[in-house]
Amino acid sequence: MTPPVWLIAEREFRTYAATASFWVALAIGPLILAGMMLMTHGGAAHPAPATLTLSTEADGSLTARFSDNFPLSGEGRAAVLRDMAKEVRLNPPLRTAVTAKPTIDPRAVSRFVLVLMLWMTLTGSLGMLLNAVVRERANRALESLLAAASPLDIVGGKLIGVGGVSLLVLASWLGSTFLMGGLMPASGGLISGLLRSAADPLLLAHAALVYVLGFAFYGFTTVAIGGLARDNADAQNLARPMFAVLLAVFFAAFAAAGGGQLDWLVYVPPFTPFMLLMHPHSLLVEMIALAQLAVATALAAWMSVSALTLSARPVWLAVLAPKRRAVG
């Protein structure tokens, strides 16, 4: 006999997997990555020429300007100009306008992209989870479920079902990143470097683990909110603080990507999953942060089960239920 938790999970998964939005979300990630791959190959076929331009200024001096894709560092460009000035004996002397070669770290960019993937899939799945709880709370179907399954089975089934939908979307995105990143040439520019960095198996495995933990924390919190709401309008009002936190998480990740000193947020559970993805941390820091997140997730799970029980059944019936099961 199939346990109730899996029956509920299967029902939730089938409900959302049958929608057109699910298939659009499933395909949009691979399509975007395929477009980036085509852009990379198209750009490689017609690379922009590297140029050195000499121009005369208003005071009669000469200025040398390198294009951004010139294959030399700032020190190398300066050395070329010094040698050129000696050879041709330029008069007036050559003024150098040396610009350092752009140093964009593809690995840092790929980490930020993974954070965006987590944020987008998480916000979408939490909306589905909230609707699933409030729908059954409003039409009184929750009482029927509680007659056949425990509150923990209901909470777990909904998290597994809705989480499976969003995890499948994320797996499609991460899987296509891994496959297409492996096909990228080593010298294909920024986009190629980005895809190759994001295709690191260890980075993707770490991202998948962090996603599961992050979804568990936010998912239990969402079920607790849905269990306390009487209808959709009430649920939206109760969920606003949580989605405000998610918005703050997005801006914090954006600031961290720009060099902001926000690594301490890794110890704040709502920010922990995103900060773990944003920057590499030592093993000790990761263990402490994950332990705190696990404690916060356990607390959110207890709150969700309690909210679901007390909102769907009278308190006295919830107290007598264990005795009735014992008698049966």
The residues near 41 (Cβ < 8 Å, ≥ 6 apart) are: 188
Residue 37 pLDDT exceeds 70: no
**Could you tell me what percentage of the chain is helix, strand and coil, using 3-state DSSP and rounding each to the nearest 5?**
75, 5, 20
Separation of first and last alpha carbons in the chain? 19
- The tokens for 61 are 């001096």
User: Considering only CA atoms, which of 50, 131, 52 is closest in space to residue 85?
Assistant: 52
> Comparing 147 with 158, which gets the higher pLDDT?
158
Q: Which helix (H) or strand (E) holds 168?
A: helix 151-183
The dihedral built from the CA positions of residue 200, 206, 208 and 214, taken in this order, carries a sign that is negative
Residue type, 96: T
CB 225 within 8 A of CB 239: yes
Question: What percent of the chain clears pLDDT 90, i.e. is strictly above it?
Answer: 9
**CA–CA distance, 66 with 102 (Å, rounded to integer):** 12
**CA–CA distance, 129 with 301 (Å, rounded to integer):** 14
Q: Which helix (H) or strand (E) holds 150?
A: none
For β-strands 62-66 and 52-56, DSSP reports them as antiparallel
Q: Which helix (H) or strand (E) holds 223?
A: helix 201-228
Residue 57 pLDDT exceeds 70: no
CB 53 within 8 A of CB 65: yes
Q: Which helix (H) or strand (E) holds 302?
A: helix 283-312
The dihedral built from the CA positions of residue 56, 60, 66 and 67, taken in this order, carries a sign that is negative
Radius of gyration of the CA atoms of the chain, in A: 27
In this prediction, residue 26 carries a pLDDT of 77
**CA–CA distance, 253 with 278 (Å, rounded to integer):** 7
Question: What percent of the chain clears pLDDT 70, i.e. is strictly above it?
Answer: 64
In this prediction, residue 20 carries a pLDDT of 78
Question: Can you tell me the mean pLDDT for 132-140?
Answer: 76
Residue 101 pLDDT exceeds 80: no
What's this model's pTM, rounded to 2 decimal places? 0.68
Question: Can you tell me the mean pLDDT for 278-294?
Answer: 89
